Every structure is written in C-alpha cells, then in structure tokens.
Amino acid sequence: LRAGKGLSLCPLSQPCPAPPVPAVLKKRLVKLVVNFLFYFRTDEAEPIGALLLEHCKITKEEENVFSISFIEEPERKYCFECATEEQCQEWVEALRRASYEFLRRSLIFYRNEIQKMTGKVSESLQGPAQVSLMALGASRG
C-alpha cells in the first residue's frame, strides 16, 4: 500500500457515521511503515502525525469506511473513508497485519513451530527481556 491511496482521516468520539460530515472530514494522505501509520496534509511532504498501531482495534464500519480505536482511549476513534470497498479491505488487512498484537502473535507462533521442529528455542526469536533473563540465569549457576 502506498501513501496517497485516497484515505480520509477523521478523529471522532462517536461511532463513525457514514460518511462523516464534510465540515469535519479532513483529507489526508497516509503511509504505513511497519506498525506506524503516518498521516500527511495533501500539500506537504512531512507527516503531521502518526498512529502507533499498538493496543488498537481495526474495525470495518460501513461501506468504504473503517476505524482505528485504542484500548487506552476508547473514546478516541479515527475513521477512514476509502474510494472503493476493495481499497478499504486492503487497508483493513494491512493494518491488522501491522499491529503490534499481530506481530507478537506471529513471533510466538513461529518460535513455537521452531521449538517443535528442533526441540530448542531459538534465541533470535525471543524478546530482549527473555534473552537478558536467560543470560542472567546462566551466570548465576
């Protein structure tokens, strides 16, 4: 997915209406980089903000509309309107795959698969805290 696919950004405190009132709707270009969603004014090269896709929920709302809400701030919701339903589905799937929770679940899944196949845990697939604890535990004994 590229920046400039025609998404519109609209932070709301209520469920997304279809589509948001034009006075509230803000046209933004967006760019997904790993688990950050950067948003830009249409005439500027530098982002004006970013959403960290951590502890968030990506919800398909109505036709051509999806939202991002955060567990820590459920009253704050960002609604996005796409040009087509197909484009909307692409964004929803890409954002779900980019979320911290998805990446974490994938890491755990692959670590378990490697452990099943090899009988040992790969240090390269462990989080930094786990590797540090293992190193500390080894030096004690």
Which tokens is 66 given? 């999806």
Percentage with pLDDT > 70 across the chain: 68
Q: Is residue 91's pLDDT more than 70?
A: yes
Domain 8-98 has CATH 3.40.20.10: no
Q: Using pLDDT thresholds of 50, 70 and 90, give the confidence band for residue 67.
A: very high
Q: Say how many C-beta atoms besides its own lie within 10 A of residue 66's C-beta.
A: 21
Q: What is the pLDDT of residue 103?
A: 84
Instruction: State residue 14's pLDDT score.
Output: 44
Asked if 68 and 56 count as a contact pair (C-beta separation under 8 A), the reply is: yes
Other C-beta atoms lying within 10 Å of the C-beta of residue 73: 11
Distance CA 116, CA 114 (A): 5
Taking the C-alpha atoms of residue 45 and residue 56, their distance in angstroms, rounded to an integer, is 26
Average model confidence (pLDDT) across the chain: 76
Q: CA angle at residue 63 from 61 to 66, to 5 degrees?
A: 35
User: What is the spatial order of strands in the sheet that 8-12 belongs to?
Assistant: 26-27, 8-12, 77-81, 65-70, 56-60
Better-predicted residue by pLDDT, 44 or 135: 44
**CA-CA-CA-CA torsion sign (94, 71, 59, 3):** negative
**Domain definitions of the chain by residue range:** 8-98, 102-133
CA 107 distance to own-chain centroid: 16
